[in-house]
């Protein structure tokens, strides 16, 4: 029950914390690949590439019901393009100690840290206004991939504006997600 899905208005994870076990309906999810990367019975390691709505902890729980497999499990969130390492983590005590003087903020990563696996496109001020208003723009960009590729989009100032899809064949960049701060700095009208 490691899920934000709701049952009678309550997220399942909250019910689980209360010790309640709620029957759940099976859901269709996308698993692009599931690879056994290590096998040392009864221990094993899987690499999973999946879509949204997939809960690795639920899979681990289900696998733990198999008597031949270990019931304890460890989930390591290793996602494509994201390089987080336990040795870079910060303890709660370290964060709490910095609460009074805001020194905890030195541990924050820039939001685009998780986007570094995307190609980046930098656009000019007129293009920025159009992009942040949700309009597709023409911008040349060399990509090793064909068809539409997801890219991170930056203003010349270095500000992350959002995510988009760029088609190298047509040189069209269409917004997929424009960030709120980017809209404010571009002078776009809020509705």
**Band (78; pLDDT cuts 50, 70, 90):** very low
Give me the residue spans of the domains in the chain: 6-64, 111-186
Shortest CA distance to 169 belongs to which of 143, 190, 151, 187? 143
Cα radius of gyration rounded to whole Å, the chain = 22
Contacts of 121 (CB under 8 A, 6+ apart): 139, 141, 151, 152, 153, 154, 164, 166, 173
Q: What is the pLDDT of residues 23-65, one digit of tens each?
A: 777 778 888 888 888 887 767 778 888 877 777 777 877 777 7
pLDDT tens figures, 84-113: 677 777 888 888 888 888 888 888 888 888
pLDDT-based confidence at 19, cuts 50/70/90?
Answer: confident
Predicted confidence at residue 140, as pLDDT, reads 84
Region 111-186: CATH code: 2.30.130.10
Residues 144-165: tens digit of each pLDDT = 677 788 999 999 888 899 999 9
Q: Which residues pair with 132 in a beta bridge?
A: none
């Amino acid at each position: 029950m490691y899920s934000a899905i709701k049952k009678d208005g309550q997220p399942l994870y909250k019910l689980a914390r209360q010790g309640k076990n709620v029957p759940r309906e099976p859901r269709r999810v996308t698993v692009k690949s599931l690879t056994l990367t290590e096998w040392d019975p009864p221990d094993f390691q899987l690499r999973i590439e999946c879509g949204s709505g997939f809960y690795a902890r639920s899979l681990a729980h289900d696998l733990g019901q198999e008597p031949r497999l270990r019931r304890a499990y460890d989930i390591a969130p290793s996602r494509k393009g994201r390089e987080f390492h336990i040795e870079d983590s910060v303890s709660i005590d370290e964060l709490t100690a910095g609460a009074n003087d805001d020194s905890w903020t030195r541990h924050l990563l820039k939001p685009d840290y998780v986007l570094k696996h995307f190609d980046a496109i930098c656009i000019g001020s007129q293009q920025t206004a159009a992009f942040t208003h949700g309009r597709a723009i023409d911008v040349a960009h060399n990509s090793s991939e064909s068809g539409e590729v997801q890219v991170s989009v930056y203003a010349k100032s270095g500000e992350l504006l959002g995510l988009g899809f760029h088609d190298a064949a047509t040189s069209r960049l269409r917004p997929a997600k424009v960030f709120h701060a980017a809209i404010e700095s571009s002078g776009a009208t809020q509705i």
